[in-house]
Amino acid sequence: MSSNADRPYAARKDALRTTNETFQDLERLVLMTYELYRKIHKVATPYNSKQHGNSIYIPPPRDLFTSNIRMSNNLMESSLFAKMVSSTIDFYSKTKGKKQLVEPHPSIHHSVQFSSSQFKLSEVENTKAIAAVLNKKFNSEVKSLTKIEILDHGDIRPIYLENLRPEKFEYLILRPKMGKTGVPVVKFWEALLYRQPSQFMIDHVDSEINPRYCGMI
């Protein structure tokens, strides 16, 4: 099962952009995250299975991943990989190998994660003017808009959130919203904001629509 219940988000908001902007920059990061997770899962799962017969559980060592997963020279990818590996080792250490990482599948893994040092929140001053050009039809007056700027990830365009209560958030997840058929709709996105800091939520799932892949069965 997802660990989302253990780390409930403090706010869930539509992630908005101006009508002439797409989310292709974030799609690229989602794909990068998914591919890294898929490779880590492929290495970690058989290792953990072999440990079940041992009297003392030994979590997977870091060099198991670095020696079996070929990385590019992309610094952003390397940094993300390091965080995901550390989180994977921590996951298996805490569960003593009694749980496996959730099997990767696009229906439940379609998000990108950011720690507090990787994003900046600021209040928008010209709320009415910005709200008029965002990709959402508002049923009532927008009282406030918060701009999210993603740092150190190349040219990622800002995201806007409506009526977000001002407080300190330590973690951010951005993802496409799920359609009625259970398929992520890349035109519409949402933001999950957390008060608790995290290195990387390796056991996070974005949907429980597929019980086989989300770890329910």
Question: What integer pLDDT is reported at residue 185 of this predicted model?
Answer: 62
pLDDT in tens, 38-79: 999 999 999 999 988 788 999 999 999 999 999 888 888 999
Question: What integer pLDDT is reported at residue 153 of this predicted model?
Answer: 82
Question: What integer pLDDT is reported at residue 178 of this predicted model?
Answer: 73
On the question of pLDDT at 2 being above 80, the answer is: no
pLDDT in tens, 84-114: 999 999 999 999 999 999 999 988 899 999 9
pLDDT in tens, 173-207: 999 987 655 555 678 899 999 999 999 999 999 98
| pTM of the shown model | 0.89
Question: What integer pLDDT is reported at residue 54 of this predicted model?
Answer: 84
Q: Report the pLDDT averaged over residues 157-161.
A: 96
What is the C-alpha to C-alpha distance for residues 149 and 123, in angstroms, rounded to an integer? Answer: 11
Q: Report the pLDDT averaged over residues 201-214.
A: 71
On the question of pLDDT at 5 being above 50, the answer is: no
Task: Return the percentage of the chain with pLDDT > 90, whole number.
Answer: 71
On the question of pLDDT at 36 being above 60, the answer is: yes
Domain-by-domain residue ranges, the chain? 3-194
Question: What integer pLDDT is reported at residue 179 of this predicted model?
Answer: 61
Mean pLDDT, the chain, integer: 88
Question: What integer pLDDT is reported at residue 211 of this predicted model?
Answer: 47
Number of Cβ within a 10 Å radius of residue 141: 9
